[in-house]
Structure formats: C-alpha cells, structure tokens
C-alpha cells in the first residue's frame, strides 16, 4: 500500500498504511476476539494463528499522518464483551437491551437503525446502558483534518493444509 498514491485536484498524494489499526481474529459472536494481525512492518504480535481460527485481514490507508484517533459524536455502539446476559437497571433500558440483542446480537449498530425499527426516545436508555458498561460507545476514527482514509478487508479461515478466503468476490 505504501507504494500507491492518488491524484486529488491535480496533486499527487501518497497513501500510507494506518499504523495504529490492525486485523484481528473473529470468535463466535465476537467480532474482535483477542488476537491482532499487524498491517505494517515492525508491528509485532506474539499471537500465533492456529488451525480453525477465523481472521479479518484489514488494510487501512490514509493520505494524512496515518495514525487515527476517536473524535466526534459517537456513531456506533456494540454490546461489551461478557455483557450479553447483563440485567439493566430500568424497564426502559431492559426493553431496549432486549431489542438490541434480538436485532444486532454482538454486532455494531447505530442509533438511526434503532429509530427505523421504532425504538424512538431511546437516548436516555441507551446512555444508561453505556454508563453501566453494558453497551460500548464507538465514535468515528479520524486522521488529520482534510485527509482521506479507506479500508479493505478479507476474511479467511485456517484449515489443516490451507487457508480458505471466505470474502472472495469479483473484486479479488
């Protein structure tokens, strides 16, 4: 990726790999399951891939400084690891949590999806779930102002004698 560039408004801009993001393994109902796969040289990990494991190999590119940070209003939410059976304190929070589990499970979701599903007036209950550590807030990741970022991903499973790419499509 480091050898690529784009042309924007007549100017050639190099693309750099975002250094503080990586690929990861995927567990049963857990999108980030603990093992990391560095995407840049020098990004070492003591984790070893093992047969039967599922991985998301993600490449993130940027025209900026190639380091991202959370910034801005929260855009996505997810049930926190180990909180699938939590018992919220209020009836409204409990009803919203039940809806989230039934419709999204442990996958990420955003507030507009709750609105579209008829879960209006959910902000206080959602904030209560977040404050209780049941739901995690995930604000946007941004690089330097005015930069562009992009992500590409392929998912594979390690088999006894080979890897099987599960995300293979016409673009691969």
Q: Across the chain, what does the average pLDDT equal?
A: 89
Give the SS3 label for residue 144: coil
Q: Which residues lie closer than 8 Å to 100 by C-beta, 6 or more apart?
A: 79, 109, 114, 135
Distance between first and last Cα of the chain? 16
Q: What is the pLDDT of residues 49-105, one digit of tens each?
A: 889 999 998 889 999 999 999 998 998 999 998 899 999 999 999 999 999 999 999
Q: What is the pLDDT of residues 28-45, one digit of tens each?
A: 878 888 888 888 877 667
| Residue 85 structure tokens | 């059976």
Give the SS3 label for residue 82: coil
Q: Are 122 and 90 in contact (CB under 8 A)?
A: no
């Amino acid at each position: 990726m480091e050898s690529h560039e784009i042309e924007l408004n007549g100017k050639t801009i190099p693309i750099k790999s975002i250094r503080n993001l990586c690929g990861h393994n995927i567990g049963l109902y857990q999108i980030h399951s603990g093992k990391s796969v560095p995407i840049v040289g020098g990004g070492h990990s003591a984790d070893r891939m093992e047969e039967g494991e599922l991985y998301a190999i993600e490449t993130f590119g940027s025209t900026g400084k190639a380091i991202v940070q959370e910034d801005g209003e929260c855009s996505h939410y997810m049930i926190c690891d180990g909180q699938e059976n939590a018992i919220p304190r209020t009836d409204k929070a409990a009803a919203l949590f039940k809806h989230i589990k039934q419709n999204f499970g442990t996958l990420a979701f955003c507030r507009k999806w709750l609105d579209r599903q008829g879960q209006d007036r959910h902000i206080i209950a959602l904030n209560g779930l977040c404050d209780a550590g049941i739901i995690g807030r995930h604000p946007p990741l941004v690089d330097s102002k005015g930069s562009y970022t992009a992500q590409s991903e392929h998912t594979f499973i390690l088999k006894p004698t080979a890897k099987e790419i599960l995300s293979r499509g016409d673009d691969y």
